Amino acid sequence: MTDIKAVLRAQHIETPSWAYGNSGTRFKVFAQKGVPRDPYEKLADAAQVHAHTGIAPTVALHIPWDKVDDYADLARHAREAGVGIGAINSNVFQDDDYMLGSVTHPSAQVRRKATDHLLECVDIMDATGSDTLKLWFSDGINYPGQDDIRARQDRLAEALAEVYERLGDGQRFLLEYKLFEPAFYATDVPDWGTAYAHCVKLGPKAQVVVDTGHHAPGTNIEFIVAFLLREGKLGGFDFNSRFYADDDLMVGAADPFQLFRIMHEVVQGAALHDLVGENEQSTKPFGGSAEGSAPRGVAFMLDQCHNIEPKIPGQIRSVMNVQEATAKALLVDREALSAAQADGDVLGANAVFMDAYNTDVRPLLAELREEMGLAPDPMSAYAKSGYFEKIAAERVGGQQAGWGA
């Protein structure tokens, strides 16, 4: 019998440094009060999210948005604030040089510059102790005939192989796919299949990351999750929610049922039970194949912007939404579900599934927090803490999250 609370305590949700900065759309970036002026202040804000939820102990960086002179010093500062450095996100999409692509650009010179940036990100992993590099390429073409689709795949494979070779022991990279935007005709890594094929070729240190906002409407994301987990190739999530395209709204806001269905597949794939050494469901060692295992399990990361809502409470709410969906997924009576499935009892199986989804897990989570020495309601605890009033008074001229910076 699974100790649900032990699993919930062990699940860590990583917050992104860029969620704490000002953000908006291409029409307007709204400035909010108290917004961080540098990466050090972003980490201080992320530490607040961890202090009130108890399950957000790491922060993802985005380079060069979080460029500093001394990354070891930044990691030290994070530790002192009570958090660690999580994934290092590369950025090969903001320079003028990348108009026609980065690692898939027709020019070898631009490809060199892009790959060098990715290698620099591995240096930053070494300096901060991060074990995960996240690769997202905005590369693609807008018009049929603009460039050779196959040649671009060759260039991509070449760059990925070079970065893969540079990874140290216990380090990995996660390759992110996205259907479209900013390229509108053909993106070079548009879907999980493309990302998966490149990662399989490279080996166990290359895994796929599923950004929940990066699919066509109606895509069955939980199927992708189930498939990748089965193959040991699910490296993590960039959680957010969407109504239309890559909206980057708070996870669990648009479709909490989808988030539950995704977390159910995570539970079924034993990715959460691995956290507490209870892996009775798994048919393979985690990380998958005979080639060896990945440095660590599935990374639960947020990739969101808070354009109109306050940032720190926005992150707290998002962490709570993932935790609620996880608790519900853990409550699925898996024995009853298997029995109904084996009997071909369609309605019975669906009822077991829906019973868990319809359970109010908020009292359970409040109890868990109290056992962890936290206030039962992180939102009101943060509001009462006085932190917002302090940063609003102290910080003038907060930084933009990155876009258009």
From 238, 265, 274, 324, residue interacting with ligand LRH (rule: CB under 6 A) = 238
Between 101 and 378, name the residue whose CB sits nearer to ligand LRH: 101
Between 59 and 365, name the residue whose CB sits nearer to Mn ion: 59
Residues 211-230 as x/- pattern, contact with Mn ion by CB under 5 A: x-------------------
Residue 393: CB minimum distance to ligand LRH, A: 30
From 12, 155, 172, 178, residue interacting with ligand LRH (rule: CB under 6 A) = 178
Alpha helices, DSSP H only, in 231-361? 256-268, 311-331, 334-342, 346-357
Both tokens assigned to 80:
């002192």
Q: Is 16 within 8 Å of 250 (Cβ atoms)? A: no
Part of the chain binding Mn ion (CB under 5 A), chosen from 93-101, 145-153, 231-239, 268-276: 231-239
Axis-axis angle for helices 362-371, 311-331 (nearest 10): 110
Residues 285-324 as x/- pattern, contact with Mn ion by CB under 5 A: ------------------x---------------------
Cα first-last separation, the chain: 51
Residue 61: CB minimum distance to ligand LRH, A: 11
Q: Is 355 among the residues that bind Mn ion (CB under 5 A)? A: no
**Number of residues in contact with ligand LRH under rule CB under 6 A:** 8
Q: Is 136 among the residues that bind ligand LRH (CB under 6 A)? A: yes
From 246, 278, 345, 355, residue interacting with Mn ion (rule: CB under 5 A) = 246
Angle at 249 between CA 247 and CA 250, to 5 degrees: 155
Q: Is 147 among the residues that bind ligand LRH (CB under 6 A)? A: no
Q: Is 303 among the residues that bind ligand LRH (CB under 6 A)? A: yes
Residue 199: CB minimum distance to ligand LRH, A: 16
Between 219 and 289, name the residue whose CB sits nearer to Mn ion: 219
Residue 238: CB minimum distance to Mn ion, A: 4
Q: Is 139 among the residues that bind ligand LRH (CB under 6 A)? A: no
Both tokens assigned to 224:
């992708």
CA dist 35 and 395 (Å) reads 7
Phi, psi of 101 (to 5 degrees): 130, 170
Residue found by looking up tokens 């599934």 in the block:
353
What separation in angstroms does the CA of 13 have from each of 46, 55, 58, 86, 211?
11, 6, 8, 10, 14
Q: Is 188 among the residues that bind ligand LRH (CB under 6 A)? A: no
CA dist 211 and 138 (Å) reads 14
3-class state of residue 11 by DSSP = coil
Q: Is 211 among the residues that bind ligand LRH (CB under 6 A)? A: yes
Question: Of residues 150-209, which lie at the interface with Mn ion (CB under 5 A)?
Answer: none
Between 45 and 238, name the residue whose CB sits nearer to ligand LRH: 238
Q: Is 14 among the residues that bind Mn ion (CB under 5 A)? A: no
How, if at all, do strands 206-211 and 299-302 pair? unpaired
Q: Which does 89 bind (CB under 5 to 8 A by kind): Mn ion, ligand LRH, none?
A: ligand LRH
Between 90 and 321, name the residue whose CB sits nearer to ligand LRH: 90
Between 275 and 302, name the residue whose CB sits nearer to Mn ion: 302
From 139, 222, 238, 274, residue interacting with Mn ion (rule: CB under 5 A) = 238
CA dist 107 and 101 (Å) reads 9
Q: Which does 237 bind (CB under 5 to 8 A by kind): Mn ion, ligand LRH, none?
A: none
Q: Is 330 within 8 Å of 18 (Cβ atoms)? A: no
User: Minimal CA–CA distance to 195: which of 147, 110, 134?
Assistant: 134
Both tokens assigned to 119:
């290698």
Q: Is 317 within 8 Å of 15 (Cβ atoms)? A: no
Q: Is 131 among the residues that bind Mn ion (CB under 5 A)? A: no
Tell me whether the omega of the peptide bond preceding residue 182 falls within 30 degrees of 0, making it cis: yes
Angle at 138 between CA 160 and CA 246, to 5 degrees: 125
Chain residues in the site for Mn ion (CB under 5 A): 211, 238, 246, 303
Chain residues in the site for ligand LRH (CB under 6 A): 89, 136, 176, 178, 211, 238, 246, 303
